[in-house]
Amino acid sequence: MKIGILALQGNYQKHCQILSQLNFEPILLRYPYQLEQVSGLIIPGGESTTISKLIHTAGFRQAIQSFAQQYPLLGTCAGLIMLSNLRQDDVGINPLGLINVNVTRNGYGRQLDSFINNVTVTLNDKQQTIAATFIRAPIINDIGPDVEVLASYNNKAVAVRQGLHIGLTFHPELNDITLFHQLAFEEKIN
Ligand code: GLN
């Protein structure tokens, strides 16, 4: 199965490795028509203001929104910011509004640019602890009723799922965590 990685800006190579490890074929997407070739999409971390502009100029916005009606999306960090509703006060970004959460960008402040912490993920009443790398990560503030929280850190959701789509404030690909890619793109994993 082919899974696309939006390769306009940001760190997508590690996602390729995780997908290959899971026997998916990673496809780097630079043009909207390429969505026709894939059965899922990753929006990677990077700089959400830049990704947002490039989504607009490359004509990806509507293409991703209609793709998302049928196929799963996984957004990490800036990718989650793009999937969210964001907050009205962040003018540089036009989020896709596919996961019903509001986020604050760089929520942990510049002085804590990056940290790794253990996070406990709850799936089907089973818990597992993973290492999570947060890099200038957003904080999820408000969560809509249709959003499931898969993991929290400091009483804030850091992994959320709505329907087919998963959003993470951290970077599982940097710690070789395959769980969320499996959850998003493999059918019926328990
Ligand atoms: N701080 C970045 C932003 O706002 C996100 C960082 C990341 O993706 N690691 O877009």
Give residue-wise pLDDT tens across range 2-15.
Answer: 999 999 998 889 99
Rounded Cα distance between 112 and 1, Å, is 38
Grouping H, G, I as helix, E, B as strand and the rest as coil, residue 52 is helix
Mean pLDDT of successive 10-residue stretches along the chain, which has 190 residues:
95 94 97 98 96 97 97 97 84 93 89 86 92 95 96 95 97 96 78
81 within ligand 1 shell (Cβ under 6 A): yes
pLDDT at 187: 75
Give the number of other Cβ atoms within 10 Å of residue 39's Cβ.
16
**Does the CB atom of residue 77 touch ligand 1 within 6 A?**
yes
In this prediction, residue 86 carries a pLDDT of: 81
Instruction: Please tell me the predicted confidence (pLDDT) of residue 189.
Output: 42
Catalytic residue among 15, 16, 165, 171: 171
User: In this structure, how many other beta carbons lie within 10 angstroms of the beta carbon of residue 133?
Assistant: 19
The boundaries of the domain holding residue 117 are: 2-189
The answer to whether the beta carbons of residues 10 and 45 sit under 8 Å apart is yes
Length of the chain: 190
CB 3 within 8 A of CB 18: no
pLDDT at 125: 87
Helices assigned H by DSSP within 12-92:
13-21, 48-57, 61-67, 78-83
Distance CA(74)–CA(19), nearest Å, equals 12
pLDDT on residue 16 = 97
- Residues with Cβ within 8 Å of 57's Cβ and at least 6 positions away in sequence, in order, are none
Domain count along the chain: 1
Decide: 136 in ligand 1 pocket, CB within 6 A: yes
Tens digits of per-residue pLDDT, 75-93?
999 999 999 998 766 778 9
- The protein residue whose alpha carbon is closest to atom 8 in ligand 1 is 45
Q: Which atom of ligand 1 is nearest to the CA of 47?
A: 10
Helix or strand run (H / E) with residue 179: helix 179-185
For residue 88, the domain's CATH number is 3.40.50.880
Whether 171 is catalytic: yes
Strands 41-43 and 73-76: what pairing?
Answer: parallel
Mutation to probe ligand 1, out of 77, 158, 173 (largest number of atoms < 8 A from CB): 77
How far does the centroid of ligand 1 lie from the alpha carbon of residue 188, in Å? Answer: 30
Q: How far does the centroid of ligand 1 lie from the alpha carbon of residue 112, in Å?
A: 13
Distance of CA 40 to CAs 67, 124, 139, Å? Answer: 9, 22, 25
